[in-house]
Amino acid sequence: MTKHEFKIRTVSLLVLLTFLASCGQETNRESYKIGFSQCIFPDDLWRVQMISEMERELLFHEEISMEVRFSGHDNEKQLRHVREFIRQGVDLIIVSPFELDPVSPALEEAHQSGIPVILIDRKANSRLYTAFVGADNLKIGNIAGHLALNILKGIRDEKAPAILELTVPELASPFLERHNGFVEVVEPYLSDSVITEAYYSARIDDLRHTLLNNSNIRIIFAQTDIIGIKAKKIVDRLGLGDKISIIGIDGLAGPGGGMQAVADGVLTASILYPTGGEKAIQIAVDVLNDRYVKRNNELETTVINKDNVRLMMQQSSKISSQQNDIVRMNEKIFEQISIYRSQRNLIYIFSFTLVVGLILTAYVLKSRTEIQKINRRLSEQNEEISRQKDREMQMSKKIKETTQAKVRFFTNISHELKTPLTLILGPAERLLTELHGSPLKKEANLILSNAQRLLRLVNQLMEFRKIETGKLKLNVSQVNVFEFIEEIKESFSQMAESRKIDFRLLSDKKLVYAWIDKNMFDKVFFNLLINAFKFVDDHGRIHVVMDEDKSKNDLVIKFKDNGIGMMPEDAEKIFDRFYQVDSSKVKGTGIGLALSKELVELHCGKITVESVPDVGTVFTVTVKLGNSHFSKSEILPSHEKMELDRMDKMLSYQTDEAPEFLSSGSTSILLIEDNDDLRSYIAENLKDQYKVYEAINGEAGLTIAFDEVPDIIITDIGLPRIDGYEVIKTLKNDLRTSHIPIIALSAKDELDNKIKGIKYGADDYMTKPFSFQLLLERIHTIQINTQKLREHYLYELPPDRSVNPGELDRKFVNEFTSTVQQNITDPHLDVRILCEKLGLSKIQLYRKTKATTGYNVNEYIRNVRIKLARSILLSEDLPMSEIAHKSGYSSSSYFATIFKEEFGVTPSEYKKSRGAREAEPISKK
């Protein structure tokens, strides 16, 4: 035998041994068959999901096959299927009994044949089974009962509310246990006569008669989501959708499932009823491998409602995606297995071919390694899915606990605030009565008004809580809405007139009656009008338009303005609590419109908004005419009158156009502050010493500063429209106002904010709250420093025309003095000529010159001329007429008169005593 032949025979023998070993492995590999008897039709959505879970779990167990048979609500057919499985000799039977009794004999036969039986979802009247997999239906009934009672807490009705339970006629354990659990919770609170039981049949329309004959039904408990969804259609058809809440069971994901029904508002809530398919296969695998299993395997459940349905749907979608990945990866596994088997067949055929045999052997080994890796990844993903389900349950519980904690926090703190507010309001009101005629009465009134404002904000927060808990009670009465809005409109008339706003109430009728709670709608209309006035510029338009929609029996009220409008993303969130549109433009709490929406919806009405940026906004309030949509307890008796708790009994405002002149002091101060109370308080305390101008925002402040050129400016940093930093920067970079000292006020006391204020040009930066006495001292110090600066400009400025950044005052003085000196010989030199040469108005030139030199323009020209004349008189020997001409005087006699007024002697006498007065400074008239 040659060496080559030996190699061939050796390799061939190895291939043959490999082939025999692989055959032996497959021969020795044990396989199992499971028979599954389903009690429903194949198109049932819940059963489809159960079988899908089983098939996915079986992907991890190639040795197990499963045959599924559907009995379609036929007990005899199901009994026949189970016995056929017994005759076939299947290794394990899974049964979902249609009813309790009929299938029991077959279970006993399986037990006698030694075949393990697993019951899933439904139970049977037999103890001869290996394990049960399913949810605790008695517990689910309890949960449904508690849900129903919680919903009934918020219902106020003269009649005792009733609950309608919709179940199925079959004697299946889930429906019987759910019913018992539900009644167990509800019965102690509601009498037996109130609980109405109706049995679901193929004709769900029979529900119509039950609802018509029992008008006090407020909750429908449907044994399945499918029943609940069908019931919802009947309820809506009868117009009872707003009165009846529907609770279902299953909570399936996907179109047509309970989760989607809850998200769409079809069901009020659904209780998750897991299918248990995956768990059933896992237990079957343990049984077939002689591992210990629990007899009762309870599946977890949870409540799906509007608070958690979105999260549940997202998690379900993620799980579905991961399960699809498992299916795809399993397909790849089967592809690999198919390749493997093909290659194995080739080995059988070409087992004596050395090269082909080696290649195929290597490929098979590699394929097996990859399959093992894929199996491990699939197993890890399956474990992750299980962990994800547990996290979902925990997350849902935490979200519910967090929500309740937040609500309790806001409620408690709102109540806590009322005690100190009472202690503020009481003494403030007493002070007002004690301080009659006293100058401190205005401060006491300021304390009272701000405490009342804080109390209104607290009350609004508490009203949200009342709405959430169903404790906010309606007291509706028939109201002439036109007259009602006219009364509210009067509170805004003065503001509209002052700001030149076209403010109208438009309606074809002046007698338009609707049933509303005046106290609630007073808040709604006030909020909408306050919102409109915030966003409308002066000379704008606000129209309230009323119209009746006869076709829908609605009253439609539109609040139209041509203000700044909103972006679409802002309009979508405008009714969200605490949401504010671009807080740099206007200030607010973000609760007014949210509260308005809640109050309107309590009236079974609706409020919407349409807005276009830079065009305007329209808020539309729609309420139903008549009172049939209110219960008797919500209608105020005719002999009782509604006492309005108006949210704003007085609207304070300040026009943007004209400054308010408060005093006749010599120094003028411009106060820019958007808070009306604070602005009024500061101005009132300054008016005895200074002229005070007021501005409500940065735009108005800049306008007044350029027109009036005040001596000092006090500005808030947090201003609407243009903030205080921008105001300071604009004023300091403008030649007309660069000399004005500026004091910045701000609630921000961080070092960065102070540095920013000084960097922009503020002469001082004070944080709120501040001492008014300290503010007065700072103003006084600024006045002293300004006077010293004027003297410096008057006597010490060199004729330097260079300008450094931030030295606009020096630039002005250099240009002003240079222009005067160049034209001093012109007898006609006056304010008009200087205005033309410097490019300033008369008032701006006057204020600027006065602020930087301490003189008005004519005084300054007079002093320069007399100083020049004295210099010429002492240095040159010229006739008086020529000295007068060089000094800009038109006649020598007028020059002599002015000279004597200034120095007390004539020019000739002064020249004779030259040297005696050379060192004297120019006196200031």
Give Cα separations from 560 to 276, 526, 579, 583, 610 (angstroms).
Answer: 57, 14, 21, 22, 10
Residue 217 in this model has a pLDDT that exceeds 60: yes
Identify the residue with better confidence: 616 or 864: 616
DSSP letters, 738-762, are TTS-EEEEES---HHHHHHHHHHT-
The mean pLDDT of 838-860, rounded to a whole number, is: 76
Mean pLDDT within 99-124: 91
Residue 673 per-residue DSSP state: -
Share of the chain above pLDDT 90, in %: 24
pLDDT surpassing 50 at residue 619? yes
| Burial annotation 100-129 (CB, 10 A radius, 16+ → b, else e) | bebbbebbebbbeeebbbbbbbbbbebeeb
Cα gap 885→872, rounded to integer Å: 11
Q: Does residue 24 contact residue 367 with C-beta atoms inside 8 Å?
A: no
Per-residue confidence (pLDDT) for residue 663, from 0 to 100: 41
Token couple for 72: 């379609």
In 521-575, at which residue ranges do the beta strands (DSSP E only) sit? 541-549, 554-561
Cβ count near 582 (within 10 Å): 11
Alpha carbon of residue 857 to chain centroid: 58
Highest mean pLDDT among 333-337, 737-741, 853-857: 737-741
Segment 303-337, tens digit of pLDDT = 999 989 888 888 878 877 776 777 677 667 767 77
pLDDT over 50 at 377, yes or no: yes
Least confident of 37-51, 125-139, 190-204, 499-513: 190-204
Confidence at residue 407, expressed as pLDDT on a 0 to 100 scale: 60
Looking at residue 505, what is its pLDDT? 93
Higher pLDDT, 892 or 296: 296
Q: What residues form DSSP beta bridges with 476?
A: 635
Per-residue CA distances from 216 to 156, 164, 195, 198, 223 (Å): 11, 10, 11, 15, 20
Would you say residue 506 has pLDDT above 70? yes
State residue 76's pLDDT score.
Answer: 92
User: Is residue 348 over pLDDT 70?
Assistant: yes
The pLDDT value given to residue 392: 83
Predicted confidence band of residue 556 (pLDDT cuts 50, 70, 90): very high
Distance CA 348, CA 358 (A): 13
pLDDT (tens digit, 9 = 90+) per residue, 280-301?
A: 999 999 999 999 999 999 999 9
- Total H helices, total E strands in the chain: 29, 24
Instruction: Report whether 148 contacts 163 (CB < 8 A).
Output: yes
- The answer to which of 154-168, 565-579, 644-658, 734-748 has the lowest mean pLDDT is 644-658
Predicted confidence (pLDDT) per residue in 247-267, tens digit:
999 989 888 889 999 999 999
Cβ-proximal residues to 287 (8 Å cutoff; 6+ apart), any chain: 92, 116, 118, 130, 131, 293
Share of the chain above pLDDT 70, in %: 79
pLDDT given at position 27: 44
Please write down the long-range contacts of 635-639, taking CB distance under 8 Å and 24 or more positions apart: 635/476, 635/477, 635/515, 636/475, 636/476, 636/477, 638/477
Contacts of 488 (CB under 8 A, 6+ apart): 522, 525, 526, 529
Indicate the pTM of the whole model.
0.39
pLDDT of 444 > 80? The answer is no
pLDDT score for 685: 82
- The confidence score (pLDDT) of residue 192 equals 55
Residues 6 or more apart whose Cβ sits within 8 Å of residue 550: none
Q: Are 122 and 96 in contact (CB under 8 A)?
A: yes
- Asked whether the beta carbons of 826 and 888 are under 8 A apart, the reply is yes
Among residues 826, 805, 803, which one has the least CA distance to residue 815?
803
**Which of the four pLDDT bands, split at 50, 70 and 90, describes residue 585?**
very low
pLDDT for 77? 92
Strand duo 131-135 + 117-120: pairing: parallel
User: Quick one: pLDDT at residue 806?
Assistant: 45
What's the mean pLDDT in 804-811? Answer: 55
Question: Residue 660 pLDDT > 70, yes or no?
Answer: no
Phi and psi at residue 271, in whole multiples of 5°? -100, 125
Q: What is the DSSP letter of 671?
A: E
pLDDT confidence of residue 431: 75
What is the enclosing helix (H) or strand (E) of 337? Answer: helix 309-349
State residue 82's pLDDT score. Answer: 93
pLDDT tens sequence across 171-203: 888 988 998 999 888 888 776 544 555 554 445
Instruction: Give the pLDDT of residue 803.
Output: 37
Range 595-603 average pLDDT: 88
Mean pLDDT is lowest, of 9-13, 503-507, 797-801, for 797-801
**What pLDDT shows up at residue 403?**
63
Q: What are the C-alpha distances in Å from 925 to residues 46, 856, 858, 859? A: 102, 11, 12, 8
Q: For 554-566, what is the mean pLDDT?
A: 93
Q: If we measure between CA atoms, which residue out of 715, 677, 709, 670 comes closest to residue 693?
A: 670
Q: Does the pLDDT at position 156 exceed 80?
A: no
pLDDT at 510: 87
What is the C-alpha separation between 428 and 447, in angstroms, rounded?
A: 6
What is the C-alpha separation between 96 and 134, in angstroms, rounded? 10
Confidence band of 617 (pLDDT split at 50, 70, 90): very high
Q: What is the pLDDT of residues 11-25, one digit of tens each?
A: 455 545 455 545 544
- What is the rounded CA–CA span in Å between residue 258 and residue 271? 9
Exposure letters 706-745 (e unless 16+ CB within 10 A, then b): bebbbbbbbbbbbbbbbbbbebbebbbeebbbbbbbbbbb
Confidence grade of residue 158 (pLDDT, cut at 50, 70, 90):
low
Give the torsion sign (CA, 900, 902, 903, 904).
positive
Tokens standing for residue 501: 């706003």
Lowest average pLDDT, out of 45-54, 455-464, 582-591, goes to 582-591
Residue 808: alpha-carbon gap to chain centroid? 47
List the end-to-end C-alpha distance of the chain, in Å, as a whole number. 141
Looking at per-residue pLDDT, the higher value among 410 and 565 belongs to 565
458: left (phi over 0), alpha (psi -120 to 50) or beta: alpha
Of 764, 654, 746, the C-alpha closest to 699 is 654
Q: How far apart are CA 720 and CA 673, in angstroms?
A: 10
Find the mean pLDDT for residues 220-244.
90
> Over the chain, what is the mean pLDDT?
80
Residue 653: pLDDT band (50, 70, 90) is very low
Question: Which among 10, 9, 16 has a CA at the least distance from the CA of 361?
Answer: 16
249 vs 456 pLDDT, higher one:
249
Which of 373-382, 650-659, 877-886 comes out lowest in average pLDDT? 650-659
Residue 185's alpha-carbon distances to 195, 248, 605, in angstroms, are 12, 16, 35
Residue 547's pLDDT is 93
CB 97 within 8 A of CB 85: no
